[in-house]
Structures are given as C-alpha cells and as structure tokens.
Amino acid sequence: MSETGFEGFNWEKYENWNGASLRVNDKIKGQDRKTKVYSFEPYAQELFDLYNNQTHKFIRKDLERGDVVPIVEFSFIDGSGKMMVEILGGLTIDVDLGREKRFIQIYGFNTISEFIEAFNTAEKRKQFIDHGIYAYVVESSPAVKVSLWQGHIKKIKDEFMEQIQSPSRAYVAKIIEANRGGFFVEVQGVEAFMPGSLAAPNKIIDFESYVGKEVVVMIEDFLQDMNSFIVSHKKYIEHVLPQKISELSLSQKYSGSVTGTSKYGIFAEFNDIFTGLLHKSKMKEDTYHKFRNRQYNPGDALEFYISEITKDNRIILTEESPEEKREKILKFVEKYDNKPIDAEVAAIMNFGLIVNAEDLSGVVPNREFRKAHTSPKNFIIGDKMKFKLFEIKEGEKLVFTFWLEREKKEEGA
C-alpha cells in the first residue's frame, strides 16, 4: 500500500490501534505464546476457534490424525462393550470401551458396566455431553478411529492454558512421586509438577509423607522445555483464603500441628490451609515451659483458639478459651472501675498504641492523643504509662483512654 493509502486509512475505528502498533485481544480464549489474535471484531473468537479446529459450529470433513472434535451424541451397542459416538458434522464412529479404561476412570467409574449403567437414558447422556466431551482422531484412513481419553487430555490441556492467563478454577491433584525439588502429580489425567515451595503454606519437612495424598491446586505456568504444567497449592490458598478466613470462629477449639517456632512463639498449621501464631504471652504455663525449653518440633500436635484475625489476615492464636477470657476481663473491669491503670506500651501502630496491662492487652486510639495534644509517636515500646479503661468492644477488646495525670496535678495546684 502506498504512503498515501496509509495516510488515508481510518485507524481510529480500530480500538486495538494505539497509534504505534496493534494490541493483542486478551479476551480471546485459547491463545498461547506463539498464537496471538489482534482482531477485536465480534466474530474474532469464532474465527480463531475455526482456525484451531475447536469451533462447535463447523467441522472439517477431511479429518486428519491429531484433530480434536466435539461429541454431540452417543449410545451403547448392546452386549458389545462398545459405544457409538456421533461427532459434530454427523459422522458416527464405534469406540471400544475396553480401550478407554482411563477415560472411564477419570469420571469416577471402575468398570465398563458401571459407566454404561450411569448413562442408560438419553437425558443422562445429554447432561454428560453438555460438560464438553471430545474425540481425538487417531486414524483418518481408511476409516476414522478416535480416542476419548486423548480427546479428554487435549481438552484439559487447552483449559489449563486458559487458566494460566485467567485463573478461576481449582483442581484436585494426586501426588504420585516426590523428588528433591517438589512433586510429580496427576491432575485430571494430565501429569504436572508441583514445586515444594508451592505445595504447602509452610516449609515441608518430610516430602515422602505427601506421596499418595490429594491436594487442591491451581494452574501456575507451563514450561515449554519440560513440556509440563506447573501447579500450585499456594495459589489456591491465596484465592480462597479471604473467604475461608471469614468462616473461622473465635469460639471454636481447633487442632493443628507445629510448623516452626520463633522467639515470639509457636507457628501452627490447621484446617490444611491456615497458619497462626501462638504468642508466648497467650500460652498456658505448661506450653510456655515446653516452648522456653525448645521442646516443640515440627509436626507436634497443638490445640488452641483463635484470639484475633488482623486486618491483613494474620491469625493470632491463644490457649485461653473464650469463657476464661471473658471471666478475666470482667474481673479486670471490676478492679479498675474508673481508676488509673499501670500499663506498658507493646506496639506503636497507625491507629494508636497497643498496651499491656497485667496479662491483658488493649488499644489507646489516636483520638485520645489528639485530645491530649500529643502523639503516640512520642512514645517507644516499653514506656510505662497510666491509662483509664474506656470500653469493651468487638470480641471483648479493651479500649483505653490516655490518662492525663499531669493535667490533673495542674488543676489541683
């Protein structure tokens, strides 16, 4: 095209034109690193599917080995252990179910007879087909032969590719083998690799103990060099954690296992996906004695309650039951009714100070410092101060008022 032709072309009608180059249409499903779609026309997805032989509207008549075609109907040939499948386009093909045992098993059936019995009505067969069942062309001449198992694998791999770009689904992975770097797993019949760093929320101590187990994963990546998908249990946890955390109860007793310790306390894992910190200040005497003497090891059993879930979803554990905490607070309130409380600054936060008084913790909010014309930034951790109990709120959290001793002295003078 001549320069004049380019100058006269109306690029503005193309929403993917940014003035310098074309943009990829990220909404088109099925793209990979080698195949990209730049068209934003309404028919772009349909045309791309046709190009990849994945369309449900058209089917090529000259099928070749490696083609994958959707099944639109199937029935069983009585007493033969075979099924008749009809692929899109009207072609019917016999399939020997004796050669499709893995396909049958992946859908939860142990025998051919169980599979046939499960789909003994046209309605049940239609529901099965609506999930998307595909046939892989094994031979095209002299007669067409297909494999349901290979069709399933191709469909799943295409789905996995989409999940890398737009994660929305989780899958069950069975751990087949462990090695120094992670695990070889099977997901929906597809072999994949799960690095040890992505296999659990915490560091794994005994890799072999995971073999044979099933974990929920999401698709992380595809490695061309290995021709293998990378799956991640951590990715699944990150997606479900906000919802699952909201289901936790502050009154329920939980059982977990130790994953590690620090100078502050014990880290414990529970309900497969959660990790919390049992701070030394929230341990009972026996637990604290074992902790101080370094007697806790990864895998040790531990029982606890949830004391608090912070805004950034950190889970703080305690061995104190809600009933014990409630009784302690009531005694504390009765003891310090309208009296100054000696306390110590435990943390300086953006919302104020966290202080410890006896064996309870409370918050001195910023508003109290503004009233006193001072700032929490004027204090450091460990400072001794006097406070006044203001209220109990949200899970019996103590809220303190800054005690203005100096002003009281001035008033008395």
Residues 41-68 have pLDDT tens digits of 777 777 777 666 554 444 455 788 888 8
Residue with tokens 């993917």: 16
Q: Quick one: which of 184, 189, 187 has its CA closest to 210?
A: 184
- pLDDT digit string (tens) for 166-218? 888 888 899 999 987 899 999 999 999 999 999 987 778 788 989 999 888 99
Sequence-distant (≥ 6) Cβ neighbours of residue 309 within 8 angstroms: 245, 248, 315, 316
* Alpha-carbon dihedral sign for residues 242, 244, 249, 253: negative
pLDDT digits (tens, 9 = 90+) for 296-314: 887 789 999 998 887 767 8
Distance, in Å, from the CA atom of 387 to the CA atom of 135, rounded to the nearest integer, reads 74
Assess contact for 242 and 207: CB atoms under 8 A.
no
| CA trace torsion 330, 334, 339, 340 (10° rounding) | -40
Judge residue 34's burial from the number of C-beta atoms within 10 Å of its C-beta, 0-12 exposed, 13-18 middle, 19 or more buried. Answer: exposed
Q: How far apart are CA 102 and CA 317, in angstroms?
A: 45
Q: Which amino acid is at 134?
A: Y
- Residues facing 229 on adjacent strands: 192, 222
Cβ neighbours of 118 (radius 10 Å): 15
Q: Tell me the three state secondary structure of residue 72.
A: strand
Of 292, 264, 269, 361, nearest to 320 (Cα)? Answer: 361
**Percent of the chain whose pLDDT exceeds 70:** 86
